[in-house]
Structure 1
Amino acid sequence: MGAYDTETAAPAAAARAALVREIDADGAFAEDPVWRAAFAAVPRHLFVPYYYVAGRGGHRRRWGESPDPRAREEWLRGVYADAPLATRLRDGELVSSSSRPSLMARMLAALRVVDGNRVLEVGAGTGYNAALLAHRLGDDDLVTTIDLEPEIAESARRHLAAAGHRPFVATGDGARGVPERAPFDRIIATCALPTIPRAWLAQCRPGARVLTPLATGLLMLTVRDRTHAEGRFLPSAAFFVPLRGERWARPRGASLAGLPGRVREQDTFRFLLALTRCVLEPREACALWEREGMPGRERYGVTVGAERAWAWLDDPRGPYGWPLP
């Protein structure tokens, strides 16, 4: 049996409706309820024909085309769970995933997309996020998505076509943007970066919004012009696969040896440490974090200027600022 045949349609529709209710109850649509219709309409199973589940002895693949009906049911339940799905592995390492739907909903709602916006998505992944954007905007040509891996980009293109959408799917380094499709009103990244690529700002209209994972948070910037942007982090944590590209190296891990156990496991401390990894040693970060009342992510922000970019606590001109790479 095929994953997309009539046998799948009814249980998939029921599972999708249940997922939408779950996301709604979590409050993820509150900021922009129009996204509820997009999640209700776009079938996630078309974008995740298989995924991997970690277990003893390695990863096990769940496949929608399995000849075993019980295995197909298990696959479908996983697809419509409010959970991230590992979709591509290389030598046991995760290189692409489908994000948790409720997190996707919060990000899309925070982006404040309006009719007629031109949107760039960095990190095509399965194509599911691009399909949600295309459904919301009602015009596939307003959506551009890019991925470094040709195989991932082509797979996303096929998934999108199966769902009835044909946005522009580019192959290349997402940090460079897609200048031939600019200018953009919104940019959303679904992969983690160590800083803000200047190419993105240069491809934005004034007033554009850029939402990107940074450290272990979600940064929302408002673009002033081609070289200036500023904004704060959203309150929630976010963990994404790092952007792959020739310019980006993985940051080294910081040793937390010697720090109190009550500090080492605190999410907001680990966020500060990730944000300031190039500048603050763990003990310095710990002292600041405790002195300032264990600040949450929403107290931090980033400013991008013509010559430098920096992260800050509370005020971009205040006493706490740290250069970004």
Structure 2
Amino acid sequence: MGAHALHKDLEDLAAEARAELVDRIDASGAWADDPVWREAFAAVPRHLFVPYYYVGVRGGHERRWGESPDARARERWVRGAYADTPLATRLRDGELVTSSSQPSLMAMMLAALEVEDGDRVLEIGAGTGYNAALLAHRLGDDDLVTTVDLEPDITEAARQHLAAAGHHPVVVTGDGARGVPERAPFDRIIATCALTSIPPAWLAQCAPGARVLAPLATGLIVLTVRDPGSAEGRFLPTPAYFVPLRGEGRPEPEPASLGGVPRQAREDDLFRFLLDLSRGSLTPQEAYQLWEREGRPPRGRYGLTVSGGDEWGWLDDPEGPYAWPLRLP
């Protein structure tokens, strides 16, 4: 009797916390362009996707767990599950391997994806499965959604969380950079891991006119696919920091010397974005001169073009004068 009542209390608390989260995202304007996402976030229970997570404490991390014997700890767990913050869900040797992204950022990305009824969607980076559940709920058809992750323990956990929430999209274990050719063609691809360039396999698996949204260089690029080898688009104005895509041929960026770049610029988020986007093509000193000359441009002025096996970033106009090749794996 006591346990059942407690379970009901937790469910009531989860429903209340979920409604508060939805109101908070609503107020942020994240889904203003596609308010249908409000219903998905209101319906999909995030706590089922984070049965435990880690919060930073002095000297390390503290694990919050839905099955804790301490009632107050369980309450902290469920409230934290609906905070508008990213949640660390998997650590290895103290390093973050997987997280559940900040819900308002997820909402903004999903709205920017411009999903339409009947779209076939590929998600790169299954994570907890929460994003795939939101997509499946929005599309009303689990089979339209495919999500891929490199590590079997991550995909297995995502499958279990999705089943607990009543969804069964296709969950694939594999290298996200290769896409999922057997499930192609896709109308939308969304990545929840940071890239250094756009993998060619993705465009090859897209239908003409498809939309690709991916974190790249601490920004979010939105590409329109013209044909299997070409796409172009601009960055959203929002900063975005994600765990890097893991898999074959993903180079570790080499630190560049910032000598001669003023400290104020080194610490500026917009300059760091340009530095990441132009790494390997512009020296930090060249990037700084461009940044100052062009009035410290925000992310929305930058774009990316993929064509004929090449990729290049640009400022304002893909034809230049400010364009530079991306370093490909």
Instruction: Compute the TM-score of the two structures, normalised by the length of structure 1.
Output: 0.98
The Cα shift of 1:264 comes to 1.5
SS in 1 for 2:250: coil
SS in 1 for 2:83: coil
Q: Which amino acid aligns with 2:147?
A: T
**Of 300, 309, 312, the match for 1:310:** 312
Q: Which amino acid aligns with 1:184?
A: F
Matched, 1:237 2:248: no
The Cα shift of 1:177 comes to 0.3
Where do 1:260-275 residues align within 5 Å? 260-275=262-277
The Cα shift of 1:129 comes to 0.1
Query: Could you say what the CA RMSD is over the residues aligned between the two structures, in angstroms?
Result: 1.2
The Cα shift of 1:74 comes to 1.1
Matched with 2:222 is 220
Matched with 2:182 is 180
Matched with 1:79 is 81
Matched with 2:22 is 20
The Cα shift of 1:307 comes to 2.8
Percent identical = 73
Matched with 2:280 is 278
Where do 1:25-44 residues align within 5 Å? 25-44=27-46
Mapped partners of 2:155, 2:251: distance in 1: 22
Q: Residue 17 of structure 2 contacts residue 82 of structure 2 at CA under 8 Å; is this kept in 1?
A: yes
| Number of corresponding residues | 324
Matched, 1:206 2:208: yes
Matched with 2:132 is 130
Q: Which amino acid aligns with 2:231?
A: A
Matched with 2:290 is 288
Q: Which amino acid aligns with 2:29?
A: G
Q: Residue 87 of structure 2 contacts residue 99 of structure 2 at CA under 8 Å; is this kept in 1?
A: yes
The Cα shift of 1:257 comes to 4.1
Q: Residue 200 of structure 2 contacts residue 309 of structure 2 at CA under 8 Å; is this kept in 1?
A: no
Mapped partners of 2:48, 2:256: distance in 1: 40
SS in 2 for 1:271: helix
Q: Residue 178 of structure 2 contacts residue 201 of structure 2 at CA under 8 Å; is this kept in 1?
A: yes
Q: Which moved more, 1:190-199 or 1:250-259?
A: 250-259
Mapped partners of 2:273, 2:283: distance in 1: 13
Matched, 1:162 2:151: no
Mapped partners of 2:144, 2:28: distance in 1: 29
SS in 1 for 2:160: helix
Cα-to-partner distance string for 1:139-158 (whole Å, 9 max, x where unaligned) = 00000000000000000000
Q: Which amino acid aligns with 1:216?
A: T
Matched with 1:256 is 258
Mapped partners of 2:213, 2:138: distance in 1: 17
SS in 2 for 1:17: helix
Mapped partners of 1:65, 1:77: distance in 2: 14
Matched, 1:65 2:62: no
The Cα shift of 1:319 comes to 1.2
Mapped partners of 2:151, 2:26: distance in 1: 33
Q: Which amino acid aligns with 1:110?
A: A
Matched with 2:106 is 104
Q: For structure 1, which runs of at least 5 residues remain unmatched after alignment?
A: none
Mapped partners of 1:250, 1:53: distance in 2: 27
SS in 2 for 1:74: helix
Q: Residue 195 of structure 2 contacts residue 216 of structure 2 at CA under 8 Å; is this kept in 1?
A: yes
Q: Which amino acid aligns with 1:180?
A: E
SS in 2 for 1:254: coil
Cα-to-partner distance string for 1:56-105 (whole Å, 9 max, x where unaligned) = 22111111110111111111121111000000011111110000000000
Matched with 1:94 is 96
Mapped partners of 1:72, 1:252: distance in 2: 43
